Amino acid sequence: VPVIEKSELMNQMGITSENYVVLIKHPLSSEVDKAGAQMEIALNSLEQFCHKHNSQVVCIPPNSDPGSHEMKMIIENYSDATWFIKAETLPRLQFVNLMRNALVLAGNSSMGILEAPHYKLPVVNIGNRQQGRLNAGNVEFVSHETDAIAGAMEKAVFNEKYREKIRNLENPYGDS
């Protein structure tokens, strides 16, 4: 996939901070009644992180599984915040380059398990979705608790020993 320069990508997407996080969070069918509240906790945690570290969140909307409507309603509450960028479905070239340049992927997407290791991207997997799946060691699994999310975000972004481990990992799902 061709490389889009980070500055060009930021311009295309309206990202103003060099330090951005990508959020991809989907509902879990067994926890559908909690989907909105879980998204609220994740966004509150990421808001605190962004304010503390002058960062932004690029949010890719959830899939269309039951519970996604509630999650999208919560996302709308943040759409005017300067630290928050609500993206729609992105073309592959833009999506891949967004991931190449992100500090961390937060949420619970299989992207964190399957593709993130290829980009040496740390992942904070929030909640039970993806729990128990083989991963490359780049995934920190946390509960829907602000302190747990905040701690994992700090580790993913600022713990150099952890980031070095991720830079040198082997992806169990292949190398391309």
Residue 132 phi, psi (nearest 5): 90, -5
pLDDT digits (tens, 9 = 90+) for 103-151: 999 999 999 999 999 999 999 999 999 888 889 999 999 999 999 999 9
Per-residue tens of pLDDT for the chain, all 176 residues: 889 999 999 999 999 999 999 999 999 999 999 999 999 999 999 999 999 999 999 999 999 999 999 999 999 999 999 999 999 889 999 999 999 999 999 999 999 999 999 999 999 999 999 888 889 999 999 999 999 999 999 999 999 999 999 999 988 877 66
How much is the pLDDT for 36?
Answer: 97
Residues 6+ apart with CB under 8 A from 172: 117, 134, 135, 136
pTM listed for this prediction = 0.95
